């Protein structure tokens, strides 16, 4: 697993061993960040189920101004910190690391995010609840995007959000949400 683009392009990342965790493939990450290319620079990013941090680190490499990484797993955070150290990226103003379950994290973080990356375990069944909480807390910026990665399409109707795109890469589906556009 490696960073695909930006200032850390081609840097190899530490990853999980075994079959218990399924990181986003390089091909899928490249496709995702090609779609997000115009939104990434100077973006404030939340990587909600960060795992090794590959998605958030890709955003950081491509010019995000701040990335907030979150994961409940101490093992995930240990690999993330190993990757941050390898990139000489310091936890501080630009990078924050949190240790909460997804819903609790949404209660703790403050401000609006331009990109929210949600890549929960495939057995996770609270996607609609997460999206609803994001809307109620006002965590998505006016032109922000939420990317939900899962093993099937996330068919969720959330008041205040609209699903505007969906892509499949291998076993992963990326479902894209934005604030509901007001009727003119």
Whether residue 162 is contained in a domain is answered as: yes
| Cβ atoms within 10 Å, residue 73 | 17
Whether residue 59 is contained in a domain is answered as: yes
Q: What is residue 92's predicted lDDT score, i.e. its pLDDT?
A: 82
Q: What is residue 174's predicted lDDT score, i.e. its pLDDT?
A: 95
Give how many domains the chain has, as a whole number: 1
Domain of residue 133, CATH code: 3.40.50.150
Whether residue 5 is contained in a domain is answered as: no
* pTM, 2 dp: 0.94
Q: What is residue 22's predicted lDDT score, i.e. its pLDDT?
A: 65
Whether residue 4 is contained in a domain is answered as: no
Whether residue 7 is contained in a domain is answered as: no
Distance of alpha carbon 98 from the chain centroid: 13
Contacts of 129 (CB under 8 A, 6+ apart): 103
User: What is the chain's pLDDT, residue by residue, as a tens digit (184 residues)?
Assistant: 889 999 999 999 888 765 556 677 888 899 999 999 999 999 999 999 999 999 999 999 999 999 999 999 999 999 999 999 999 887 888 999 999 999 999 999 999 999 999 999 888 888 999 999 999 999 999 999 999 998 888 888 899 999 999 999 988 899 999 998 776 5
* Alpha-carbon dihedral sign for residues 94, 124, 82, 169: negative
Three-class SS of 90-141 = CCCCCEEEECCCHHHHHHHCCCCEEEEEECCCCCCCCHHHHHHHHHHHCCEE
Q: What is residue 142's predicted lDDT score, i.e. its pLDDT?
A: 95
Distance of alpha carbon 110 from the chain centroid: 16
Bridge partners (DSSP) listed for residue 96: 68
Backbone phi and psi for residue 161, each to the nearest 5 degrees, phi listed first: -120, 150
- Containing structural domain, residue 38: 26-179
d(CA 148, CA 153): 9
Whether residue 14 is contained in a domain is answered as: no
Whether residue 15 is contained in a domain is answered as: no
Q: What is residue 20's predicted lDDT score, i.e. its pLDDT?
A: 52
Whether residue 21 is contained in a domain is answered as: no
């Amino acid at each position: 697993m490696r960073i695909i683009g930006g200032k850390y392009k081609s840097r190899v990342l530490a990853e999980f061993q075994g079959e218990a965790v399924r990181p986003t493939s390089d091909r899928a990450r490249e496709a995702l960040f090609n779609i997000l290319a115009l939104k990434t620079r100077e973006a404030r990013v939340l990587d909600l189920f960060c795992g090794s941090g590959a998605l958030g680190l890709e955003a950081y490499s491509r010019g995000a101004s701040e990335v907030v990484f979150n994961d409940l797993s101490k093992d995930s955070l240990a690999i993330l910190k190993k990757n941050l150290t390898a990139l000489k990226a310091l936890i501080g103003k630009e990078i924050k690391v949190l240790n909460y379950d997804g819903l609790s994290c949404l209660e703790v973080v403050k401000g609006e995010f331009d990109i929210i990356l949600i890549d929960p375990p495939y057995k996770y069944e609270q996607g609609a609840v997460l999206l609803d909480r994001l809307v109620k807390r006002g965590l998505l910026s006016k032109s922000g995007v939420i990317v939900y990665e899962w093993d099937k399409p996330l068919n969720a109707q959330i008041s205040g959000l609209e699903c505007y795109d969906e892509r499949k890469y291998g076993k992963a589906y990326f479902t894209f949400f934005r604030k509901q556009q007001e009727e003119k």
